[in-house]
Chains A and B, each alone.
Chain A
Amino acid sequence: MSRTLAEKLWDAHVVRKGEGDEPDLLYIDLHLVHEVTSPQAFDGLRLAGRPVRRPDLTIATEDHNVPTDPGVGRDIPIVDAVSRIQVDTLRANCAEFGVRLHPLGDVEQGIVHVVGPQLGLTMPGLTVVCGDSHTSTHGAFGALAFGIGTSEVEHVLATQTLPLKPFRTMAITVDGTLPVGSTSKDIILAVIAKIGTGGGQGYVLEYRGEAIRALSMESRMTVCNMSIEAGARAGMIAPDQTTFDYLQGRPHAPQGADWDAALGYWRTLRSDDDATFDAEVVFDAADVEPFVTWGTNPGQGLPLSGSVPDPSDIADANARAGAQRALAYMALTPGTPLREIAVDTVFIGSCTNGRIEDLRAAAAVVEGRRKHPAVRVMVVPGSARVRLDAEAEGLDKVFTDFGAEWRNAGCSMCLGMNPDQLGPGERSASTSNRNFEGRQGKGGRTHLVSPLVAAATAVRGTLSSPSDLEPVLAGQS
């Protein structure tokens, strides 16, 4: 019987088929752990006297809480006492239960969803879980990857399995070629605006089509990362030569006969031509313009060429009330061209857009320029390895010459858990994934954008794309 990619991965991991209404018991190949959603899970193990069943399929890093000030290392205490306790608790738990940890100051420390792929641990055909909703990132490799709650973290630590009901499947086909200046971030923001924050609920999204195939691994990760913002459990892309080339030679990639065996299997990991999806959505990449959000959920977005919408034009009463509330929070007036919205802060980083390719793209825009004087620009690599790679290419110099802060790896301003936060009423253009009220700091106002739009906005001070910039004249820098 023909099957979708998600169904093939599901079937390959069923330990025990559920009877009647029971869920299936699914085996988990890789469990990523960080300091925020794990303390209560380890505590549960201790209370029940249970070990971690497979420490060799588990890896931990410190990301959500960590300060990103240059120079912060493992031995420099975290100033915030509560954050320090949480990080110290992770270190103690990993030591007690034998889990590999990459702590602050370690060369492999970083955002958990950047660390897994760069180590070559994330690969096609795996089930990957983490107590973080952006685990969907790893689906870019053709893995079934999804976020879980703390009770489920404990369950995976104890049993290496999860009881789950099968997800429905949705094909999101992006045909054609992406215009110059548009990126995978614009694709996913446009997808979420179209299907809504609940449109993917209960589904695994499979992204396919010519425009998806043309994307690099980094760009594919950006798309899959934000699947959760459409309400989906997971997003995935069938592996192809781009995937295999990215993986080969990475520290944990299979070698020798194992590589050949893996490759043989990975080539079968695609939805069969006659497989049926529960839902299908089709886009034309040629229509994807640089996209920005204007509201307080990731579905409230528009092309940058548009204007702040008028809630009275919205027919659905709930959506209209939501838009009114969002505009009040964002302090925006209907009809204002999006390009005229001035920001205080530009944040380039996060598990959505904190990879080397994102930093290269932003650096190419700002090279030889100076930032707008009223804007604070923060560049935060997704991992210590990304930072080192960027420094080897001289990107740090490009950013600091531009007037940006070049910082250490972590979740940083994506969420208000560490010192990198917006103040009340401050407005950001951010390459992160959520524009919820208070997400980047209490009272902070967030516009989600691509790295290209973030960089151009840092130059002009208002939401902009690189095409709005004057060319850099020779010798000007």
Chain B
Amino acid sequence: MEPFTSHTGVGVPLRASNVDTDQIIPAVYLKRVSRTGFEDGLFSAWRQDPGFVLNAEPYRAGSVLVAGPDFGTGSSREHAVWALRDYGFRVVLSSRFADIFLGNAGKQGLLAGQVAQDDVEMLWKILETEPGTQVAVDLQAREGRCQQFVFPVGVDDYTRYRLLEGLDDVGITLQSGEAIDAFEAARESWRPTTLPVLS
């Protein structure tokens, strides 16, 4: 995974709460077996509305999404993160994220930063008054900046560490191979296996 330290890009105000992953990428795009190329599916239903924010210049080239509360609810599809990333987003800011989305984002180098709802409102105001304004996010300092407005960006310590280092989870876990072996050796025999039952 590519390390993430800081990012500066055009901010996109998405004035919607409860943006579920079915809206981020509808199920019809989930049939692919590749891990890239999902940008066409991002918000595909909403993008058919000419008034949707991503259809307007200069938001079209945005890379910092500023959304309402409860972003990424619903389905566990990691495709939602892939679609945001493939489109060009590196940062999503919201006052509250769904748990699975938050976990998926951290594994794919997409920074899901928690920002107080009052700060989100302020960002919306700036980005709508002056479209094309850039938002800068410094992961090291856990801080965002938009013009003169500076705001804290919440990221838990472990996700921050992994993003900064660009670490791969499987690689980290396999260093604990002996502990996994020992745990398995002590598992009780009543725990099921999926091997076919002979009848």
What residues make up the interface of A, taking CB atoms closer than 8 Å to B? Answer: 15-16, 18, 20-23, 25, 27, 29-30, 36-37, 39-40, 43-44, 48, 50, 55-59, 64-65, 80, 82-83, 85-86, 89, 100, 120-121, 123, 125-126, 131-133, 147-152, 154-155, 158-161, 163, 165, 197-198, 201-202, 228-229, 231, 233, 251-254, 258-259, 261-262, 265, 297, 318-319, 321-322, 325, 415-417, 434, 436-439, 442
* In the A-B complex, the 9 residue pairs with the closest CB atoms: A21-B157, A39-B33, A149-B78, A149-B104, A262-B190, A254-B190, A258-B190, A151-B107, A147-B76
Chain B's closest residue to A196 (CB) is B70
**Closest approach, in angstroms, between the C-beta of A442 and any C-beta of chain B?**
7
Contact B180 A161 (CB under 8 A): yes
Contact B100 A123 (CB under 8 A): no
**What's the Cα separation between A139 and B174 when bound, in Å?**
28
Contact B26 A442 (CB under 8 A): yes
**Closest approach, in angstroms, between the C-beta of A457 and any C-beta of chain B?**
23
User: Which of A27, A83, A154, A438: most chain B Cβ within 10 A?
Assistant: A438
Residues of B within 8 A of A436 (CB): 20, 22-23, 74
Chain A's closest residue to B199 (CB) is A251
Within 8 A of A (CB), among B171-192: 172-174, 176, 179-180, 183-184, 187-192
Residues of B within 8 A of A59 (CB): 194
Residues of B within 8 A of A202 (CB): 99
Contact A159 B103 (CB under 8 A): no
**What's the Cα separation between A442 and B197 when bound, in Å?**
42
**What's the Cα separation between A150 and B81 when bound, in Å?**
11
Residues of B within 8 A of A148 (CB): 76, 100, 103
Chain B's closest residue to A100 (CB) is B194
What residues make up the interface of B, taking CB atoms closer than 8 Å to A? Answer: 15-18, 20, 22-23, 26-28, 30-35, 45, 68-70, 73-79, 81, 96, 98-100, 103-104, 107-108, 156-158, 161, 169-170, 172-174, 176, 179-180, 183-184, 187-197, 199
Residues of A within 8 A of B73 (CB): 197-198, 231, 297
**What's the Cα separation between A415 and B70 when bound, in Å?**
21
Residues of B within 8 A of A126 (CB): 191-192
Known pairs A149-B78, A251-B197, A258-B190; A318 contacts B180 (CB<8 A): no
**Closest approach, in angstroms, between the C-beta of B37 and any C-beta of chain A?**
12
Residues of B within 8 A of A251 (CB): 197, 199
Contact B195 A56 (CB under 8 A): yes
Known pairs A37-B77, A258-B189; A149 contacts B100 (CB<8 A): yes
